[in-house]
């Protein structure tokens, strides 16, 4: 894939208000993540949301600077200029953003979009800090640059959330690094710096969130907790109880009883 042509085609689709054209830059199971709005969309959902967006907003999108690439990743910065003279689209001025694309073949597996409108800047939104830090330089010769850290961070989140890698009871840091396609040291740095926790705390956080959803689906049989523990990827009930109490502040049984009361 030629990165510059891919980005040009992507921006051209935005300029032509073509929802399908934008979404076609994702693979079939791809995800588009809007960071400021805290939204995550599949290809089909992106087409629907963009169809509504383009009906209300008329803007021009321009690439700023060069497209940066590394293995399986593209990063670039862009500017958006409002074409609505009356300001009906809600944008007071031009604004900037940055996108990170994790690639799979000739399309993106994950597109992560950071941007900051003038209104966001007035409210002290921190997105601009992320954009400036992430795109202020090319990849460092050693260690992880900001761009690489963001790339691996969102690739990791895709593997954990979309593929639910945390459900594998034999998941280890090296195995997860292989799934993310980065070194063990880099993945450890991403989890420590990007999420502020250890590998086991990060892993258990996803497992406990899954367990919480599962606990509410059982009818209260004593064996249900054991089932949930193994389904969530834990190898023992003691490890499950300890992790659950640490994350939630309650035992699984206490949490389940509380959910059952709410349901009734």
Residue 130 lies in a domain: yes
Q: What is the CATH number of the domain that holds 258?
A: 1.10.10.60
Residue 2 scores a pLDDT above 80: yes
- The pair of structure tokens assigned to 65 is 């600077």
Do both 139 and 210 map to the same domain?
no
Q: What is the CATH number of the domain that holds 8?
A: 3.10.450.50
Do both 111 and 176 map to the same domain?
no
Could you give the number of structural domains in the chain? 2
Whole-structure pTM value: 0.52
| Strand partners of residue 62 | 79
Q: Which of 87, 118, 147 is the last residue of a domain?
A: 147
Do both 209 and 135 map to the same domain?
no
Do both 135 and 31 map to the same domain?
yes
Q: Which of 147, 177, 194 is the last residue of a domain?
A: 147
Residue 157 lies in a domain: no
Do both 174 and 50 map to the same domain?
no
Residue 221 scores a pLDDT above 60: no
Residue 43 lies in a domain: yes
pLDDT band at 193 (very low <50, low <70, confident <90, very high): confident
Do both 99 and 16 map to the same domain?
yes
CA–CA gap between residue 210 and residue 183 (Å, rounded): 27
Neighbour count for residue 55 (Cβ, 10 Å): 10
Residue 9 scores a pLDDT above 60: yes
Do both 106 and 178 map to the same domain?
no
Do both 183 and 142 map to the same domain?
no
CA–CA gap between residue 218 and residue 215 (Å, rounded): 6
Do both 127 and 216 map to the same domain?
no
Give the chain as a 3 state SS string.
CCHHHHHHHHHHHHHCCCHHHHHCCEEEEEEEEECCCCEEEEHHHHHHHHHHHHHHCCEEEEEEEEEEEECCEEEEEEEEEECCCCCCCCCCCCEEEEEEEEEECCEEEEEEEEEECHHHHHCCCCHHHHHHHHHCCCCCCCCCCHHHHHHHHHHHHHHHHCCCHHHCCCCCHHHHHHHHCCCHHHHHHHHHHHHCCCHHHHHHHHHHHHHHHHHCCCCCCCHHHHHHHHHCCCCCHHHHHHHHHHHHCCCHHHHHHHHHHHHC
Residue 159 lies in a domain: no
Between residues 79 and 1, the one the model is more confident about: 79
**Mean pLDDT of the region 179-201:** 87
Residue 158 lies in a domain: no
* Chain centre to alpha carbon of residue 137: 22
CA–CA gap between residue 264 and residue 135 (Å, rounded): 51
**Mean pLDDT of the region 215-223:** 61
Do both 125 and 215 map to the same domain?
no
Residue 170 lies in a domain: yes
pLDDT of the residue at 43: 92
pLDDT of the residue at 121: 53
**Mean pLDDT of the region 235-249:** 91
On average, the pLDDT of the chain sits at: 81
Do both 134 and 183 map to the same domain?
no
Is residue 186 a contact partner of residue 174, using CB atoms and an 8 Å limit?
Answer: no
Residue 116 scores a pLDDT above 60: yes
Do both 192 and 232 map to the same domain?
yes
Point out the least confidently predicted range of 152-156, 170-174, 223-227: 223-227
Instruction: Return the closest-CA partner of residue 30 out of 166, 210, 150, 155.
Output: 155
**Mean pLDDT of the region 190-196:** 84
Q: Which of 84, 118, 147 is the last residue of a domain?
A: 147
Is residue 35 a contact partner of residue 113, using CB atoms and an 8 Å limit?
Answer: yes
Is residue 187 a contact partner of residue 165, using CB atoms and an 8 Å limit?
Answer: no
Residue 126 lies in a domain: yes
Q: The domain containing residue 78 runs over which residues?
A: 3-147
pLDDT of the residue at 117: 65
Residue 255 lies in a domain: yes
pLDDT of the residue at 155: 84
Is residue 104 a contact partner of residue 136, using CB atoms and an 8 Å limit?
Answer: no
Is residue 79 a contact partner of residue 61, using CB atoms and an 8 Å limit?
Answer: yes
Q: What is the pLDDT of residues 76-96, one digit of tens each?
A: 889 998 886 554 444 445 788
Range with top average pLDDT, 31-35, 45-49, 54-58, 144-148 = 45-49
């Amino acid at each position: 894939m030629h990165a510059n042509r891919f980005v040009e085609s992507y921006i051209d689709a935005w300029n032509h208000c073509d929802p399908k054209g934008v979404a076609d830059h994702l693979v079939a199971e791809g995800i588009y993540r809007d960071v400021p709005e805290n939204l995550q969309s599949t290809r089909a959902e992106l087409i629907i949301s963009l169809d509504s967006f383009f009906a209300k907003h008329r803007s021009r999108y321009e690439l700023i600077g060069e497209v940066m690439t590394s293995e399986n990743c593209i990063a670039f910065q862009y500017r958006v200029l409002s074409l609505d003279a009356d300001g009906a689209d809600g944008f007071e001025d031009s604004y900037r953003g940055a996108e990170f694309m994790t690639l799979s073949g000739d399309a993106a597996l994950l597109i992560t979009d950071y941007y900051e409108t003038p209104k966001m800047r007035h409210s002290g939104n921190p997105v601009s800090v992320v954009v400036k830090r992430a795109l202020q330089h090319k990849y460092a010769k050693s260690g992880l640059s900001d761009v690489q850290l963001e790339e691996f961070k969102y690739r990791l989140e895709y593997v954990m959330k979309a593929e639910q890698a945390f459900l594998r009871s034999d998941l280890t840091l090296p195995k997860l690094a292989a799934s993310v396609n980065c070194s063990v040291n880099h993945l450890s740095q991403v989890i420590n710096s990007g999420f502020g926790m250890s590998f086991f705390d990060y892993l258990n956080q996803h497992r406990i969130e899954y367990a919480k959803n599962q606990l509410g689906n059982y009818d209260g049989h004593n064996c249900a907790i054991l089932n949930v523990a193994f389904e969530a990827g834990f190898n023992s009930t003691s490890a499950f109880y300890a992790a659950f109490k640490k994350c939630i502040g309650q035992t699984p049984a206490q949490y389940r009883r509380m959910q059952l009361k709410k349901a009734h």
